[in-house]
Structure 1
C-alpha cells in the first residue's frame, strides 16, 4: 500500500475486476442505479450479476460509509480486516477442541494465512467464504452438542447470503462432516433424536429461505448462463486428463501456492485460477501426517481421508460445485480447517510422534522439490543439414528462480519448526508462543514474496492504473459526454478499463452477464466465456452496438494503427485526440442507439450464413426468430437471398448510413430503464442493442407494448408512424418475491426460536457440554 501510494493493487483479476467492481457498485447503490447496470458489458441485471462478487458481503457494505473517492483506498484495509476476521472465525470453531484459547488462536492464524487464503488474494470475494465457513461448522456443533436453536439457521443464512457459489460447496461439506461423525460413533452426533434431526433440517431450510432476497434473483440470472450446465462424464469423471494435475494437487499441501495463471511446479497441469493452495505456514503437513500415523481413532482422521480421496477423483472434487466439469479446488479452505484441527489435536496429545511426522514431511518436501528442480529434460532438434542436436537441461519448473524460492521457504519453515519443537515437551507455554510467532513470521515472508511476485506480472500500476484508471476518467472530454449515449471500445488494453471510468463499453471481463449476451457472441465468431472481447475482424459489431469511441492506451499493448500499412486496424475510424493516456479514435460510421430496418431475415437464414458475414448481415436486415416471422411481416419485407448480398467494406459503410438515418432523436437512461423518442415515416420495429431479459417492460406513447427478441438476443418494439415516445422499465426478476420470502422466513425463524427455546431451556442445560479436550 505504501509503494502504491495508499492503494492496494495486485495483478490480473484483482486489478481489473475487484477494484472497479467495488467502486462501480458502491456508486450505483448510492445513486440508486441498482436495477440495470449500463456499465457492465452491453448491460446487465445489477443484482444477478454482482451477488457472486460483492452484494452479500458485509465488507462491501462498509464502503457505503465512505465517499466514492475513498473506495479504491479501502481495498487494502478491508483485506486486513478480512484476514483478522478469518483468524477470529477459525479460532471460534477450533476453541471447542482446544485446551486453551491461545492454542485456538494459533489454529486461527494457520487457517487465516494458509496457502488457500494467500493464493486467493487474487480473488477478493473468496475471502468472505473463508471467514463465514468456520461459523457454519461452529453452529452445527452448537446444535449437536447443546441443541442450541436458531444459531444454525442464522449461520446458514449468512453463508448463503454472502456467496451462493461457495454455499453449495459448504452444504456438501457439512453433510459429509455430519455423516462422518455419525458413522464414527461420535457421542454427541450419534445421540440425536428423530425430532432434533428434523428440527435441524427445519433450521437449514429456514436459513436458506432467509437469504432469498438475493438468492432468488440470482437464480433467475445464473440459470441463463451456459457455464453452469457442464457436468463431469466419462473417463474425465474418474481421472484427470492432465497427469501433472495430480502432482499439482499433492504439492499444494507441501509448498506455498503458485501464482494464478503462472503455474510453476506443474506448468502443464491446466490448473490456472483453480485456487490450488492448502499449505500451512510453519507446520506444513507435519500435523496432518502425525494425525494419520497415530493409532488412535478420531473422526477427523476419517474425514481427512475422505476429503483427500475426493480431491484426487474429478467427479468427487466437482461435487463441491454442483458437479460442474470445470476444474476448481475452491473448496480447499474447508479441507484446510480440518488440517488445522488435526494439527492442534496432535499438539495436545502425548502419544504423537512429532519427530517422525516432521521427517516424513521434510522427506516428501525434498522429494518433490528435487524431482522437479533437478529432473533432466532432453530436447532434440533437427538442423538444416539433417543432423539432430540433443540438448539437456535440468528442471521441469517454468520459473526456476521463483521455484527455488518456494522450495527454500518450505524448507526454512520446517527447519524453524524443528527448532521450536525443542521446547515442546519441556516448556509448553514457550513452545506455543514461539509457534505463534513462527507462524506469523513465515506467513509474512511467504505472502510478501507471493504478492510482490504477483505485482511483477501486473499492468504498470504507476504508469497506467493509478494515473489513468483510478482517476475515473476525469481527464476524458468527448463531444458526446452528457449529450448522447454511446459505447466505448478499448484496443489491446487492460480489461474493464472503461468500467473504472464507469462508461458503457463493448469490452468486458465479467463472468455473470445476461444469457442473451452469452448466446449472441458465439454466433458472430466471438468466444464468450468469462469476457466479451470482440476482435477487429468483426469490425461491424462496433457500429451495430452503437460504439462511437475507441481508446488505444499508449502504455499498453500494440497500436491501433498498423505499423506495416499505417492504417487503422478497422475501417471507418479516425484519430480524434490523445487524452488520459490513450489515443482516441472516432467511428465515422457510428449508429446511435435505437434504429430500425426495412427488411428482415429469419434466424434460420442467419445461421446459414458464413460466420464471418453474420456481423455484417446484422446491419442489413433485422434477424427475427422463426416463430416471430408473421409479426415481422407486418412492417418489414423479407430480405431475399441474403447470402448473395455484398459484404465488402463499402457495403458496410452504406448499411451504416442507412441504419443511422432511422435512429431515435433521443435516447436517455435513468435509474429505472431508458426513454427514447423516434419519428417514423411508417410503422416500424425499433431495435435497441440492449440485452433481452425477462425483467424488461415497454410502453409506446404510454400504452403497453410487446418486446420482441431480435438480432439473436436483443430487443425491439413496434411504433406507429409519426413521433413516438418509447419507455423501457426494468424490474429485477425475483427481487420482490425474494424479499417477501426473506421477511416471512425471518418471522418464522423468530417464532421457531421462541417456541423451541421456551420448551427446551437450552441455556440452562449445562450437562451436555463436553470437556475442552474432546476429540
Structure 2
C-alpha cells in the first residue's frame, strides 16, 4: 500500500507501477529464498502452533472500545494511558475472548495529527491518500482482517506501528510546503483539540464508566494539548524552526510517561531488573550448582519447576529457555505442537493465562515429564505431592520431587483420551493415554513388564542418548515432546514414534539392553537448503545481468 501511494505521489500516474512492483517483488523473493534454510523450517513450526487460527472474532468486535479508540487514536497518545494499570487504562486496552490484549497505538505526534488531514481534505487532497486511509481503517476495524495482519491469530493492533510510519512518511513533504491549506489546518487544529481534550471522557461515558474514576489520570490526556496548539500556530505562521524542538520535547514527554512514569513500570529499578535477569546466575551456573549435590543429574533428564511469581516476579516466562533450563513454562511458538495434548490431561493446571501459554502445576504431570527439583519463594509454593527440602539457592528453598524417575518408563496398560478425564491424573504413572486412532496399534506393542526410569539419559543439543534394559519387548514413553522432526533409533535401527500421554514420545523397545538415540532435524530444513541454493544462484544471476546492463548503458 505504501509502495502504491509513494508511486502515485512521485509520478502522479499508475503507468509503469506494476512492472516496477513486480521487479521489486522478484528481488524480495530472491532474498526470501536465500534465507530459506532458516525461514522455511521456522515457518512450518509456526504454522503448526496452536496460536495460528485461534480467533474469537470475525466481522465485528464485541465491544465499542476498539472503534472509539481507533477513531480517536490519531489525536490521542494512547501509550501513556493503556499500560498504567489504572481505571483509565481500561478504556484503551481491550481483551478478546482469548485474553489477547489489544491497544490502538496510532498517534505519531501533534504534527502528524495536524498534517494528515491536509492529504484528505482541501487543495492537497490526493485520491491515493484517501484510498490508503480507507483501506487501513477497514483492515483495522474488521477483526478477521486485523487477525490476518497478526498471523491469523487473535485480532491485534500491533501492526499499526507500520501505519504510523506510513502516516509520518506521508506528512514529511508537507512540513515546509509554502502553500499549506490554512483553512484545513485550522479545522484540523480545532478537531484535534476537541478530540484530545474530550475524547477520553466520551469513551468513558460510552463504556458506562463514571468520570470520577478517571479524573486523577486525566491530566495525561491534556498533557499534549499545549504542544498541539504551539505546533498548530507554528504551522499556520510557517515557523518551521519552532516545530522540531516542540515535537522532540513532546515525544520525550510521552515516552517518559509511557514507561518510567507509568505505575506499571516505574517500580522496575535497575537493581531489581539486574537481580531478576541473573536470578539463576550466569548461563549454566544453576545446573552446575545442582550437580554438586546431585552428580547423577548429569546422566539424567531433569526438569525444574521455578515459581513464576515468587521467583521471577511474573516478569519472564522465557528465562528458563534463555538459561537452557528444562522448565515447565513456555509461550507461543517456543514449544512443539504436540505439547498441546498436555492440556487434555489437565487444562486448568497446564495452560497459563493464554491458550498458547504453559505453566504446569499438576504434580502428576510434573512427574510424567521428569521434574525433579523446584525453586520456590516459600514452602507453601512447593508443587510436589511427595517433596523433600534439599537446600537453599540464592536465598530460596529448593525441594526435590521424591516421585521423580529418569526420562520415562514402560507401560503395560492403556486407555484413550475419550475415556480419560482430568480427575484421573494419578493414573499417568501406570496407564498409557493415547488417541483412539492409535489405540489398537500401540496396544499390540505393550509388554507385561513395567520398568520405571531409564538407566541413563543425556540430552545433547539436537540429540539425546538413553539406555533402557527390559526382559521382554514392550512400549516405552520418553519425556520428550513428540515431533515429526525426531528420528529415533533403538540399537541402530530406526523405530516408529507415537504421540502419547500428553504429546510425549512413545517407542517400541526390544528385549535386553536398548541403546536409544534421538536426532532432531527441523522439518523443512532440506527444502530450505534447496531454496537457499536457488536464491543464491538467482542473486548471482541478478548481479551478472545488472552488470551487463550497466556496461551496455556506458
Q: Find out whether 1:407 has 2:407 as its counterpart.
A: no
Distance of 1:376 and 1:694 partners within structure 2: 48
Which of 117, 128, 139 is the equivalent residue of 1:310?
139
Distance of 1:592 and 1:287 partners within structure 2: 65
Distance of 1:762 and 1:261 partners within structure 2: 62
Deviation of 1:419 (Å)? 5.2
Residue of structure 2 equivalent to 1:752: 542
Could you tell me whether the CA contact under 8 Å between 2:497 and 2:505 is conserved in 1?
A: yes
Could you tell me whether the CA contact under 8 Å between 2:454 and 2:466 is conserved in 1?
A: yes
Residue of structure 1 equivalent to 2:431: 621
Distance of 2:518 and 2:31 partners within structure 1: 36
State the Cα deviation string for residues 209-264 of structure 1 (Å, max 9, x = none): 233222210222122112212468xxx53321111221222233222213458471
SS at match of 2:281: coil
Q: Find out whether 1:521 has 2:338 as its counterpart.
A: no
Distance of 1:740 and 1:292 partners within structure 2: 48
Could you tell me whether the CA contact under 8 Å between 1:459 and 1:465 is conserved in 2?
A: no
Q: TM-score, normalised by structure 1?
A: 0.61
Deviation of 1:593 (Å)? 0.8
Could you tell me whether the CA contact under 8 Å between 2:478 and 2:506 is conserved in 1?
A: yes
Distance of 1:522 and 1:610 partners within structure 2: 8
> Could you say if the C-alpha distance between residues 289 and 522 of structure 1 is closer, same or farther in structure 2, counting changes exceeding 3 Å?
farther
Which of 117, 122, 138 is the equivalent residue of 1:294?
122
Which of 296, 309, 328 is the equivalent residue of 1:506?
328
> Could you say if the C-alpha distance between residues 466 and 344 of structure 1 is closer, same or farther in structure 2, counting changes exceeding 3 Å?
closer
Residue of structure 2 equivalent to 1:381: none
Residue of structure 1 equivalent to 2:257: 449
**Unaligned 5+ runs, structure 2:** none
Deviation of 1:414 (Å)? 0.9
Residue of structure 2 equivalent to 1:607: 418
For residues 537-686 of structure 1, what are the structure 2 equivalents within 5 Å?
538-553=362-377, 559-561=378-380, 570-601=384-415, 603=416, 606-613=417-424, 615-636=425-446, 662-686=452-476
Residue of structure 1 equivalent to 2:500: 710
Which of 246, 249, 252 is the equivalent residue of 1:438?
246
Deviation of 1:520 (Å)? 2.7
Residue of structure 1 equivalent to 2:481: 691
For residues 385-404 of structure 1, what are the structure 2 equivalents within 5 Å?
394-395=211-212, 397=214, 400-401=215-216, 403-404=217-218
> Could you say if the C-alpha distance between residues 255 and 296 of structure 1 is closer, same or farther in structure 2, counting changes exceeding 3 Å?
closer
Residue of structure 2 equivalent to 1:342: 170
Which deviates more from structure 2 when the two are superposed, residues 469-478 or residues 576-585?
469-478
Residue of structure 1 equivalent to 2:231: 417
Could you tell me whether the CA contact under 8 Å between 1:516 and 1:693 is conserved in 2?
A: yes
Q: Find out whether 1:726 has 2:516 as its counterpart.
A: yes
> Could you say if the C-alpha distance between residues 417 and 319 of structure 1 is closer, same or farther in structure 2, counting changes exceeding 3 Å?
same
Distance of 1:205 and 1:242 partners within structure 2: 40
Deviation of 1:572 (Å)? 1.0
Deviation of 1:580 (Å)? 1.7
SS at match of 1:227: coil
Q: TM-score, normalised by structure 2?
A: 0.84
Residue of structure 1 equivalent to 2:274: 466
SS at match of 2:111: coil
> Could you say if the C-alpha distance between residues 597 and 303 of structure 1 is closer, same or farther in structure 2, counting changes exceeding 3 Å?
same
> Could you say if the C-alpha distance between residues 458 and 597 of structure 1 is closer, same or farther in structure 2, counting changes exceeding 3 Å?
farther
> Could you say if the C-alpha distance between residues 585 and 221 of structure 1 is closer, same or farther in structure 2, counting changes exceeding 3 Å?
same
Q: Find out whether 1:239 has 2:66 as its counterpart.
A: no
Deviation of 1:540 (Å)? 0.7
SS at match of 1:675: strand
SS at match of 2:376: strand
Deviation of 1:696 (Å)? 0.9
State the Cα deviation string for residues 3-49 of structure 1 (Å, max 9, x = none): xxxxxxxxxxxxxxxxxxxxxxxxxxxxxxxxxxxxxxxxxxxxxxx
